[in-house]
Amino acid sequence: MARLSLEQRRQAAITATLRVIGTDGVEAATTRRIAAEAKMGQSSIFYAFASRDELLAAVVEYGIAEELAAMDGWLQLLAEFPANDAPIEDLMRGALQSFAENAINDSARQHALIGLALYARRTEGLEYLAERLYDGYYAVAERLLDEAARISGVRFTKSTHELAPSVIAITDGLTLCWLGTASREQVDRVIETGVSLFIGFVDTSDE
């Protein structure tokens, strides 16, 4: 078997760590378990990363990049819609349903991202990674709301910057609802509540 380059070892360790965390949580992600999952020796892990914390920081960075890239794909789809082409409630429902499907179909990944965000938040020196993840979420949510307003031809009573954290609170809630109950019925209820919430911020003063 050909020897792996440093970058290949790093990537193998990162993806193996995500699988372990997605299945059994951050606490299970020991270097021994990660090495076994990646099918490499522990020495290879420490050749690629100076410590477990350095590896976990790299995993958080990788997870952020992957998650934001996926969300950016939704933005690109919305950008193709013409203005005044769809009701705001249909757009919000469609966006939340799309997120829910992603969470349901890749629940291990969502479990890993939540675990990593919490780990980063409570680990000295890594707090900025959790902040970066949510800053990225909020920025994408703001752009999604801007696109939804453009397509539907509505205005919100609050700025999309102010509303963006509530979007992410709902998507986090959808994820936790599915992870905790595995109930599509409960997920659908959260979606409809989210739609109602945002419809309440639509400016109807010109009607």
Q: How far is residue 30 from each of residues 26, 51, 101, 137, measured CA to CA in Å?
A: 8, 11, 31, 28
Q: What is 73-111 written as a DSSP string?
A: HHHHHHHTSPTT-S-HHHHHHHHHHHHHHHHHHTHHHHH
10 is in which domain, residue-wise?
Answer: 1-49
Residue 207 lies in a domain: no
Answer whether 0.85 is exceeded by the pTM.
no
- CATH number of domain containing 113: 1.10.357.10
User: Same domain, yes or no, for 42 and 63?
Assistant: no
User: Same domain, yes or no, for 95 and 29?
Assistant: no
Residue 66 lies in a domain: yes
Q: What token pair was written down for 120?
A: 């980063």
User: Same domain, yes or no, for 10 and 75?
Assistant: no
User: Same domain, yes or no, for 83 and 31?
Assistant: no
Which of the listed ranges 28-32, 36-40, 56-60, 158-162 does the model predict with the highest average pLDDT? 158-162
Tell me: the pLDDT tens digits for 68-91?
777 777 777 777 777 777 899 988
The mean pLDDT of the chain is: 88
